[in-house]
Structure 1
Amino acid sequence: MLYKSIHSVFASFALAGLVTPVASATTFPVKPVKIVVNTGPGGLVDLSTRLIAEKMSEKLGQPVIVENRPGGATLIGTRAIKNAPADGYTLLSTAGTVTILPAVKRDPGYQINDFTGIGPILRSPLLMVTSGSGPYKTLADFVKRASTNPGKMSYASGGVGTTTQIGAALFIKQAGLDLLHIPYNGNGPAIPDVIAGRVDTIFEAYSSGAPQVKSGTLRALAVTSTVRLPNLPDVPTLQERGIKDFSYYLWTGMLAPKGTPQDVVSRLSEALHYALDSKELGERFRSDGAEPMLMQPIEFNQFLQQEASYFEKVVTELGIEKQ
């Protein structure tokens, strides 16, 4: 079943400690490295990249600058890196959306093989949230209302083809529901409408959704992880609530333009692993409900190809038309 495949991929790659990278270029870098984040400031990709960049700078001996380049459902920043010089000085930090958009866009302006992977950063489950003052106290309440009102309830997302939209759509299909999709330009602009009850639900990354759940402005109905989260022990998994074998994670990673020299890729991978091995960052990520991911570049490239193929099948199964 498709819903199992992403979990099996993570089980085989994501949390394995792997061997040290091969020897890196002795002359790289000789100037600052720039990481372009293809989303706006304040989200999971942006915040985690800034933490990683600081640690990578220690290892590389050069400043690592983070620049936000949002827009076009992440396409503007992604295309910019595709066309950047393949010298290791301009990188892309992105969520897994980078492997989804070629399946949902008629002209995304790139394919995943236009990049070479440096490595993943982390993975994080999603929270299914609704208004903290709304009528849905449990997932059962939500499903019952949606089942008796097909097409009348709604779910928000950060846009067609984003990881949050696909996660929600997979749940809706497996639960046998009919909800109206309302896409926004990112999850951030959608959250106020969910809080106000103008949209019934959204799937939100734990790191950005949990503070509002704890403050009471949002209510978490379920989490997409395989087990409950220690920081939200009262929030059940979707599996617990009858969505059989369901697990779904948002992941983030770092890419370079295709053609970047392998010794430079190795040097960058070494710096990324140095950052991810930091006890300080590991504790920070885990406190935010995320798990650091460790892969060598060759394995990350295999993972990217598998993800792209997986989402081609998922998009077809969900009946999402290319835009």
Structure 2
Amino acid sequence: MTHSLHHLCGAIIMSLAGPTLAVDAYPARPVRIIVNSAPGALLDVTTRAVAQQMADNLGQPVVVENMAGAAGMLGIRYVKTQKPDGYTILATANTLALAQATKLEPGYDLARDFTGIGMMNKAPLLMVGFSAQPDKTLPQLIAHAKASPGSMSYATAGIGTSTHMAAALFVHQAGIKMLHVPYKGNAGAMPDVLGGRVNMIFDGANSSGPYVQDGKLRAFAVSSPKRLPAFPDIPTLAEQGLPNYSFYVYMGLTAPAGTPTPVVMRLAKALKAAQASDAVRERFRKDSAEAGNMSPEEFTEFLRHDLQRNIKVVADLGIPKE
């Protein structure tokens, strides 16, 4: 074989191996996780706990950057435009599948612009209300709402938020009409719930649980298909006449569409290792959350299914888009 032919064959082999070698070297520098919420929010706290453990597994720093704004869409839109190389990824909650269904101009398309890495965790919500109201159980509340359509109300953290969709899904499946009273966050709504000025709200167990234990709020149901170990006496919506009801606040990691599969799988491996660490498991326990157990393919499909469910609820209930 001539020298020139040797040179040509070597060049071809190197060109074919180039992308593989680049992927095998991943990560060769720090990884950024963009969090589309404010510092100190539950998503931010959760992501930082996970990122620290992922860094140990990846052998590179994992830097968490907050990019809140535009109801979480600022961070989503930013990551969508980044190079799909695994060095800039997104940490988001239900917002990714909610904003596209509830906003007039979300500025992204979930199926086209993102691929799932994995679900960090998920946590159910408690459906709670004023402890002195006449309805003592969920069936009684539903019967009351059916007897007087529109006379009862529910509070949320705002249109298009997780607590709004949890309540809207309940109203949809129960076949009732209730007045939606949006607030700027669940914390802003809670005084009116405690005072009986609105009938109910869906809220995190870590924040409303103490009120339930003190008798200041009545818990009508838990949003997961199974009861919470921390609150075994609170029945699920599913066991109280709404067999298909299931809602979780979930948090996950996604990457820009086109990120190489080996890179996505490497990030998923690091996430799984983080979930198994004592520090992250304790963080989840404090938040009444459980680790998400999904492959990148499963999480991608989950997100797309959640989006379609949200689109249907918004359309069926005539929820106005902002």
1:17-65 Cα deviation digits (max 9, x unpaired): xxxxx99944333433222222234444233222211211211223323
- In the alignment, the residues of structure 2 paired with residue 169 and residue 116 of structure 1 have an alpha-carbon distance, to the nearest angstrom, of 27
Task: Report the counterpart of residue 243 of structure 2 in structure 1.
Answer: 244
Task: Report the counterpart of residue 106 of structure 2 in structure 1.
Answer: 108
**Amino acid aligned to 1:146:** A
Shift in alpha-carbon separation, 1:227–1:106, aligned structure 2, 3 A? same
- Deviating more after overlay: 144-153 vs 160-169: 144-153
* Greater helix share, structure number: 2
Q: Is the 8 A contact 1:24 1:263 kept in 2?
A: no
Gaps of 5+ in 2: 1-19
* Pairs within 5 Å for 1:265-280: 265-280=264-279
1:177-215 Cα deviation digits (max 9, x unpaired): 221112234334333332333332211233443344335
Q: In structure 1, the residue corresponding to 2:252 is in which secondary structure?
A: strand
**Amino acid aligned to 2:166:** G
Q: Is the 8 A contact 1:154 1:182 kept in 2?
A: yes
- In the alignment, the residues of structure 2 paired with residue 24 and residue 281 of structure 1 have an alpha-carbon distance, to the nearest angstrom, of 30
Identity %: 48
Task: Report the counterpart of residue 4 of structure 2 in structure 1.
Answer: none
Q: TM-score under structure 2 normalisation?
A: 0.82
Task: Report the counterpart of residue 194 of structure 2 in structure 1.
Answer: 195
* Pairs within 5 Å for 1:51-62: 51-62=49-60
- Deviating more after overlay: 33-42 vs 262-271: 33-42
Task: Report the counterpart of residue 177 of structure 2 in structure 1.
Answer: 178
Q: CA deviation at 1:169?
A: 1.1
Q: In structure 2, the residue corresponding to 1:174 is in which secondary structure?
A: helix
Task: Report the counterpart of residue 82 of structure 1 in structure 2.
Answer: 80
Q: Is the 8 A contact 2:43 2:251 kept in 1?
A: yes
CA RMSD of aligned residues (A): 2.8
- Deviating more after overlay: 268-277 vs 161-170: 161-170
Q: Is the 8 A contact 2:129 2:220 kept in 1?
A: yes
Q: CA deviation at 1:67?
A: 2.9
Q: In structure 1, the residue corresponding to 2:98 is in which secondary structure?
A: helix
Task: Report the counterpart of residue 204 of structure 1 in structure 2.
Answer: 203
* Pairs within 5 Å for 1:223-262: 223-262=222-261
Q: Is the 8 A contact 2:168 2:313 kept in 1?
A: no
**Number of corresponding residues:** 302
Matching of residue 37 in structure 1 with residue 8 in structure 2: no
Q: CA deviation at 1:109?
A: 0.4
Q: TM-score under structure 1 normalisation?
A: 0.81
Q: Is the 8 A contact 1:172 1:178 kept in 2?
A: yes
Q: Is the 8 A contact 2:138 2:240 kept in 1?
A: yes
- In the alignment, the residues of structure 1 paired with residue 137 and residue 193 of structure 2 have an alpha-carbon distance, to the nearest angstrom, of 16
* Pairs within 5 Å for 1:278-289: 278-282=277-281, 284-286=283-285, 288-289=287-288
Q: CA deviation at 1:119?
A: 1.0
Q: CA deviation at 1:232?
A: 0.5
**Amino acid aligned to 1:29:** P
Q: Is the 8 A contact 2:139 2:241 kept in 1?
A: no
* Pairs within 5 Å for 1:291-306: 291-306=290-305
- In the alignment, the residues of structure 2 paired with residue 110 and residue 154 of structure 1 have an alpha-carbon distance, to the nearest angstrom, of 32
Task: Report the counterpart of residue 123 of structure 2 in structure 1.
Answer: 124
Task: Report the counterpart of residue 158 of structure 2 in structure 1.
Answer: 159
Shift in alpha-carbon separation, 1:279–1:30, aligned structure 2, 3 A? same
Question: Which structure is richer in relative contact order (CA contacts within 8 A, separation 6 or more)?
Answer: 1
Q: Greater CA radius of gyration, 1 or 2?
A: 2
**Amino acid aligned to 2:296:** P
Task: Report the counterpart of residue 70 of structure 1 in structure 2.
Answer: 68
Q: In structure 2, the residue corresponding to 1:128 is in which secondary structure?
A: strand
Q: Is the 8 A contact 1:153 1:180 kept in 2?
A: yes
Shift in alpha-carbon separation, 1:144–1:310, aligned structure 2, 3 A? closer
